[in-house]
Amino acid sequence: MGKHIGFVSTRFAGTDGVTMESSKWAAVLRALGHECYWFAGELDRTPERCYLVPEAHFQYEKNTWINKRIFGTKGRKSSTTETIHALKAILKVQIQEFIDQFNIDLIIVQNALTIPLHVPLGVAITEFLAETQFPTIAHHHDFYWERTRFSVNAVGDYLRMAFPPNLPNIEHVVINTSAQEELALRTGISSNVIPNVLDFENQPQTNPTRTARFRELIGLDSDDIIILQPTRIVKRKGIEHAIELVEQLGDDRCKLLISHEAGDEGFEYADWLKEAAAKQNVDLRLVQTKVKDPLNDHQQGDDDIYSLWDVYPHADFITYPSRYEGFGNAFLEAVYFYKPLLINRYSIFIRDIEPKGFDLVVMDGFVSAKIIDQVREVMTNADRRRLMVETNYAIASRHYSYQVLRRRLNYLLAIFFGATP
């Protein structure tokens, strides 16, 4: 019998990695006969299945007030502690009401017990789980110890308690083997590795009319060569390397397109990139319209809301020069759309992805003349490009498909509810 499964986080909206991976999990769970419901501070899902709690958003006013007083310092005032606990108390009540309203059987906490962008929410979830022993899967995308911005803080007690908590009713899931080892080393918590996935069993579903309209919207000509950077505009994405690549290619037809918005970590980096592109005579295009999650087929809105699947068909080449990734959604998306790509050898790529044998243009922290030559070869030699993209699709189909996710989710659900007959 299908279960009622509640997804819990600060935000399920837009095209960040946590939101998109949650959409994939929900799609697989629905196909297995389960019902999915959503709890967050921002939601773009079917309203009848949503429980919106503005206080749960990481940019909620009181939470940003707290964050300014607990990161970058080692001392915490009692007024800050009191505010944390007051907000925590509100959120605990809301979590219980969410579970009661939708008769939830199990919750999947998406990164809210992993990265401390919302400490009161993490503490609220932890206390609720400790008190109720409610069945829970905690899906961890990036831990606080992986980010320097959290290394100096005044909430070590809460981090040890709730990010993540070590409770018997939680099954922990990480997205790479390094995180699995580090989690065990730091906390003694064992975990399951489930990498990011895509539906490689089925080709991407696109709308040709809307896709063509999107190209017009961003002012691209038919002979333009589109270099796509399919990521959010944050520093760790290394987008300056993509600008350098386009400059070195030396072709006025090349346009660098960034598909996601800035804002999650401020706008200073985006402004710097615009200045750098102007100095290097690189035609940089930022998508000004809001781009939605293509995997959320229940998103509200009209046909003029574009998705990532309207962006990828235009790309002639993908750049992915990240310094750090928990896994790498954009890598899988490029492979899914049969696109050639440049990737930087970030640590998780080296350890978990590279050994699979993908055919890629690979940089190691800088754009060399050799890299430029390889990119030109891929972009001008149709046979070379075809071999690359077909090889990569076949490998990804074996290791990163929905079939992998189905098998592992069934295993986790069997831990709580027994095997399905």
Structure confidence at residue 304 (pLDDT)? 62
CB-side exposure of 46: number of CA atoms within 13 Å?
A: 10
Q: In the predicted model, what is the mean pLDDT of the chain?
A: 92
CA nearest to 224, candidates 97, 317, 91, 335: 317
Q: What is the pLDDT of residue 233?
A: 86
pLDDT of residue 222: 81
| Residues present in the chain in total | 421
Identify whether the C-beta of residue 127 lies closer than 8 Å to the C-beta of residue 88: yes
- Say which range, 12-16, 38-42, 89-93, 149-153, has the weakest mean pLDDT: 12-16
Q: Looking at residue 260, what is its pLDDT?
A: 75
Q: Which two structure tokens, joined as six digits, stand for 388?
A: 């690359």
377-393: pLDDT as tens digits: 999 999 999 999 999 99
In this prediction, residues 179-191 reach a mean pLDDT of: 97
Per residue in 26-74, pLDDT tens?
A: 999 999 999 999 999 999 999 999 999 999 999 999 999 999 999 999 9
pLDDT at residue 217, rounded to an integer: 79
What are the tens digits of pLDDT across the range 158-177? Answer: 999 999 999 999 999 999 99
| pLDDT of 357 strictly over 70 | yes
Predicted pLDDT of residue 302 = 52
Radius of gyration of the chain (CA): 22
- Is pLDDT of 298 > 80? no
- Output the pLDDT for position 14: 81
Distance CA 338, CA 332 (A): 10
| pLDDT reported for residue 289 | 64
DSSP 270-334: HHHHHHHHHHTT-EEEE--SPEE-TT-TT----TT-EEHHHHGGG-SEEEE--S--SS-HHHHHH
Residue-wise pLDDT for 341-350, tens only, equals: 999 999 999 9
Range list for CATH 3.40.50.2000 in the chain: 4-197+402-417, 208-399
pLDDT of residue 295: 75
CATH of domain 4-197+402-417: 3.40.50.2000
**CA torsion angle 343 256 297 211 (round to 10):** -130
Two tokens at 336?
């899914």
Percent of the chain whose predicted confidence (pLDDT) is above 70: 95
* Residue 285 reports pLDDT greater than 90: no
Asked whether residue 367 carries a pLDDT value surpassing 60, the answer given is: yes
Give the pLDDT mean for 140-145. 94
Residue 104 has pLDDT above 70, yes or no: yes
Average pLDDT over residues 294-304: 61
**What is the second-level CATH architecture of the domain 208-399?**
3-Layer(aba) Sandwich (3.40)
Kindly state the average pLDDT of the residues 104-127. 98
If pLDDT is split at 50, 70 and 90, which confidence band does 207 have?
A: confident
Across 285-301, average pLDDT: 67
Pairing of strands 225-229, 306-307: unpaired
pLDDT tens digit sequence for 223-280: 889 999 988 888 889 999 999 999 999 999 999 998 877 666 668 888 899 999 999 9
Cα–Cα distance between 191 and 147 in angstroms, integer? Answer: 20
Residue 220 banded pLDDT, cuts 50, 70, 90: confident
pTM over 0.85: yes
